[in-house]
Amino acid sequence: MKCRSCRAPAVIDVRRHNAGFCHPCFVRHCREQVERSIRAYDMIRPGERVLVAVSGGKDSLALWDILLDTGVDADGLYLGLGIADYSDESGRYARAYATKRGARLVEIDLPEAFGYDIPTGSAAARRAPCSACGLSKRHLFNQAALDGSYDVVATGHNLDDEAAVLFGNVLRWDLAYLGRQYPVLPGSHGFARKVKPLVRLSERETAAYCVLQGIDYIVDECPMSSGNRHIGYKEALNEIEARSPGSKASFYFGFLERVSPLVASAAEEEKEGLHPCPGCGSPTVSEICAFCKLVERAGGHL
Ligand code: Q46
Ligand code: ZN
């Protein structure tokens, strides 16, 4: 197979685009896909400061790398979740990348700062590990962005992630979630803008990007991910994609273009009735916010 752009021997084929790429043209393809998303959804404006949520995995490191290479002012934020060896190792990859690039990595350690880790804290709070983890991440990434005067929080969600989340939301016809599922969530009082610049790249492309660019990342999955519903949705979509390449992209981008405008109001309604949490100041509709509730039940558990 030859490279679509320059006819040199291809190192990767992307069936969705019915194209092969050589190493330099593939790297350019990845950058172009990211820049295209940034422009199309007005994710990052010139001069803005970006905080990248870095897990040490392929997606977040590829994202950080592409943002730095395209001239975006991007620092990383690593959150220590206290998931035994997995956290130790993923932290090492995040730090090693930052050192290699001379980039700034902010670190927050959950056990140290809040007195709980995901395995014991989620059990104490009677929440599924991924639910306690997701809540902690959302809150702390946002808080760190506000504290550090960043304009934007960028996460490494890729096309496979977003298509799987969409699949789950459609299976349950969860209109509030569907209304919020968009590659950019605008900032508002107490919330930094959230963006997902990798939505035009698949998991396989971000992995290939890291391998070709010599970026070391944690390959192991989080040990708490078994039982995570999204894994099943991903497998189902992968089977469909194998039979008809491009299905995932048309499912997701068709939703963004044609359905998202119709359901956006479902999320708007939820915004009403927000007030600052007395514990942490984050906007919430409840008496105290979900994160403060989690810390109350899980914190000090170690
Ligand atoms: S880190 Fe956290 Fe994931 Fe592990 S506990 Fe679940 S949500 S699977 S992306
Ligand atoms: Zn709070």
For residue 199, what pLDDT is reported? 98
Alpha-carbon gap, residue 80 to 105, rounded angstroms: 12
Task: Say which amino acid occupies 285.
Answer: V
Residue 34 in any domain: the answer is no
- Give the structural domain span for 141: 41-298
- Does residue 203 form part of some domain? yes
Atom of ligand 1 at shortest range from CA of 222 = 4
Cα gap 218→91, rounded to integer Å: 9
d(CA 44, CA 97): 23
Q: What is the pLDDT of residue 272?
A: 72
| Cα gap 100→217, rounded to integer Å | 13
Q: Is residue 236 part of a domain?
A: yes
| 266 CA to centre of ligand 2 in angstroms | 24
pLDDT number for residue 228: 82
At 235, give phi and psi (nearest 5°).
-65, -40
Beta carbon of 121 within 6 Å of any ligand 1 atom: no
**Do 22 and 11 meet the contact criterion of CB atoms below 8 Å apart?**
yes
Instruction: Report yes or no on 226 lying in a domain.
Output: yes
CB 136 within 8 A of CB 110: yes
Which residues are placed with Cβ below 5 angstroms of ligand 2, an ion? 277, 279-280, 282, 289, 292
222 in ligand 1 pocket by Cβ < 6 Å?
yes
Place of tokens 């930052």: 98
One digit per residue, the tens of pLDDT, for the chain of length 302 reads 999 999 999 999 999 999 999 999 999 999 999 999 999 999 999 999 999 999 999 999 999 999 999 999 999 999 999 999 999 999 999 999 999 999 999 999 999 999 999 999 999 999 999 999 999 999 999 999 999 999 999 999 999 999 999 999 999 999 999 999 999 999 988 899 999 999 999 999 999 999 999 999 999 999 998 878 889 999 999 999 999 999 999 999 999 999 999 998 876 766 677 899 999 999 898 999 999 999 999 987 66
- What tokens does 212 get? 């070709």
Neighbours of 47 (CB within 10 A): 8
Instruction: Give CA–CA dist 212/81, Å, rounded.
Output: 29
CATH of the domain at 74: 3.40.50.620
Total number of domains constituting the chain: 1
Contact 235, 193 (CB under 8 A): no
pTM for this entry: 0.96
| Both structure tokens of 115 | 């007195």
- Rounded Cα distance between 297 and 199, Å, is 35
Q: Does any domain span residue 16?
A: no
Residue 107, domain member (yes or no): yes
Residue 165 belongs to some domain of the structure: yes
Alpha carbons 66 and 188: distance in angstroms, whole number: 27
Residue 37, CA atoms < 13 Å, CB-side half-sphere:
25
The rounded distance, in Å, linking the Cα atoms of 241 and 243 is 5
Virtual torsion, Cα 33, 181, 193, 31, nearest 10 deg? -10
What DSSP character marks residue 257?
I
Kind and range of the H or E element at 299?
none
β pairing state of 193-195 and 49-53 = unpaired
DSSP string, 160-171: HHHHHHHHHHHH
Give domain status of residue 33, yes or no.
Answer: no
Which of 222, 226, 229, 231 to mutate to test ligand 1, by most ligand atoms within 8 A of the CB atom? 222
pLDDT at 202: 97
